[in-house]
Chain A
């Protein structure tokens, strides 16, 4: 049995208000099935039906005003419970949770447009009044259907794959062999958490930056406990940079995890972990005069923005790239 072996009075009431209409609409539902469907310990269910529900009714509680519960050979019949003829309505949060979850999966590439999920969602939406133009759409993240599909298959069959990956932070394209451990979505992006044979460590990859997936033909043994992935966590040995930000760049600490943020007059002075130099180049080029490097680890030149800008200008100075 599940966590429900000890239910509070409130939890029992919540479940019984759904069970009574369900059983009343069917003749002779089995106790075993009700217990399973509604997550109710079987013995407790039997006693609650016979000792509690059987005593429920309307004033003045004459026999004709009481709910009738009959149990015979592991089966239950409930009659005279008209006021409990339907379950309690879904709360707005519950309705939204179901619709949003359903729409999420429906929008995942590869979902059947007329499968059970689509049909169930359409019925649910109609019953809620989500008709006509009113709609809810959930797009978990943008990534090509075939890539998501191959990675999901590889994840569920423990198949090793070679991926062609563009590492945005390092601005580098490479092929690497990985064991896909978990595909997940966070903040509007699909991610693959995998053991990377090149890095000899676990890594998180952005699925929209995977250009191709090819099974290597080997399977792997997944770890007993698949660790909970996090999208980014600075490592102690990552380089660090201290930036002075004018008010135009005050959004930076809201978007990137900073090691420290200090106010200095109108400016902010922040320390950031730098996983790769190209990442910092992009940030500096974008911020322009709003950011200056105050201090940096070895390997990060203090005039990085100037160096990067000069490199980009060389391309522009060659003239427009016509065919």
Chain B
């Protein structure tokens, strides 16, 4: 009797069980366990660990009608079975190609694809385009997002109770957008600033998420200075990458010499100053005069 056969029989027994089965019942119903009680226990514990490590949702519940309570085991079908997306071969192949190009942490995409029907053909194109980093809170926030659960976590020292709406990866970081119940508003959170593991509770359901847009905020839009509109002139040689980096929507004007004028909202003056100084003498603040003066007096101080 092989261990593989025993594990398959154990999975079959737990999946088919109408009620939680006790260890004693499983020893009877699953062939291949040692007779001796202590050896059985050890083997059974190892099997449970093996199944759980594979992601099998093996639950422990009180066997109904026992007093004192006796633990029983089962695998709830609705937690075990894949909700099959019914992928066509070309769709599965496209996902395979994507997963080969973009790795996520150390997760085996091959195992995930086997669950969906296996890898059809070797796509033959070069893989390895990018590696997305994981974040400690990511898996639990993702689960909360798809299961419509409320999450609680500490963010920069404050308690937050949030209805998750979306997860975005931008500029090399993961962000959560959600409705913050305590602040009664939609907020964005950087996952690397969430302290500890976010807590979710089965009983705490959130309403299905409403549409929310990914926002891509710049450092100078994040402060609490009085918001102003600023205009910045950038010389031709820098124009290309600036427009790429900030997006066409901030380009207010393109001049004949190839230079461009950016128009942007500023609510963090220090961050804005750093941005403008990164052009060295190939850029300057045009408006408003207060921001231009702020940069000039900063430079004046440094030139002494």
Contact = CB atoms under 8 A, between A and B. Distances in A.
Interface of A: 9-10, 12-18, 22, 34, 36-39, 48, 52-53, 55-59, 61, 83-98, 100-102, 104-105, 115-117, 119-121, 123-124, 126-140, 142-144, 156, 166, 168, 171, 173, 183-189, 206, 208-209, 211, 278, 281-282, 285-286, 288-289, 305-306, 308-316, 320-321, 323
Given A52-B5, A117-B94, A87 B165 contact: no
B31 to A, nearest CB: 7
Contact of B166 (A17, A134, A206, A285): A134
Contacts of B57: 89
B69 interface: no
Interface stretch (B60-68, B150-158, B168-176, B221-229): B168-176
A185 B55 contact: no
Nearest to A126: B85
B94 to A, nearest CB: 4
A135 B298 CA distance: 43
B292 interface: yes
Interface of B: 2-5, 7-9, 11-13, 15-16, 28-31, 50, 53-57, 79-88, 90-95, 97-99, 101-105, 107-120, 125-126, 128-132, 134, 138-140, 142-143, 145-148, 164-173, 208-212, 214, 216, 233, 237-238, 240-241, 244-245, 247, 255, 273-274, 277-278, 280-282, 284, 286, 292, 295-296, 298-304
B178 to A, nearest CB: 10
A137 B145 CA distance: 13
A136 B168 contact: yes
B132 A100 contact: yes
B126 A156 contact: yes
B146 A129 contact: yes
Contacts of B2: 9, 52
Nearest to B92: A120
Given A100-B102, A166-B240, A321-B286, A133 B210 contact: yes
Contacts of A306: 302-304
Chain B CB within 10 A, most for which of A97, A144, A184: A97
A130 B145 contact: yes
A22 B55 contact: no
Contact of B81 (A57, A89, A105, A137): A89
B4 A12 contact: yes
A37 B108 CA distance: 15
9 contacts: A89-B80, A92-B140, A98-B99, A104-B129, A124-B87, A134-B145, A134-B148, A309-B300, A312-B280
Top 5 A-B pairs, shortest CB-CB distance: A120-B91, A37-B118, A188-B172, A185-B130, A94-B112
A104 B169 CA distance: 9
Contacts of B80: 88-89
Nearest to B177: A135
A89 B94 contact: no
Nearest to B104: A97
A129 B142 CA distance: 11
Chain A CB within 10 A, most for which of B87, B128, B295, B304: B87
Contact of B169 (A124, A138, A323): A138
B209 A134 contact: yes
Contact of A142 (B30, B88, B148, B247): B247
Nearest to B11: A17
A46 to B, nearest CB: 14
Contacts of B301: 288-289
A127 to B, nearest CB: 4
Given A10-B50, A101-B98, A119 B91 contact: yes
B98 A117 contact: yes
B292 A316 contact: yes
A133 B119 contact: no
Nearest to B231: A320
Given A38-B114, A137-B214, A186-B130, A56 B168 contact: no
Contacts of A90: 82, 112, 115-116
A121 B247 CA distance: 26
B224 to A, nearest CB: 18
Chain B CB within 10 A, most for which of A18, A100, A129: A100
Given A133-B211, A173-B237, A184-B128, A309 B303 contact: yes
A306 B302 CA distance: 5
B115 A123 contact: no
A140 B93 contact: no
Nearest to A135: B166
Contacts of B55: 88-89, 91
Chain B CB within 10 A, most for which of A83, A128, A132, A289: A83
B82 A88 contact: yes
Contacts of A137: 166-169, 214
Nearest to A130: B146
Nearest to A305: B302
A96 B281 contact: no
Given A123-B85, A134-B148, 13 more contacts: A12-B4, A22-B117, A52-B8, A86-B84, A88-B80, A105-B102, A120-B91, A123-B86, A128-B83, A130-B145, A173-B237, A288-B298, A312-B281
B98 A83 contact: no
Contact of B114 (A10, A39, A117): A39
Contacts of A61: 31
Contacts of A173: 237
Contacts of B92: 120
Contacts of B280: 171, 278, 281-282, 285, 308, 311-312
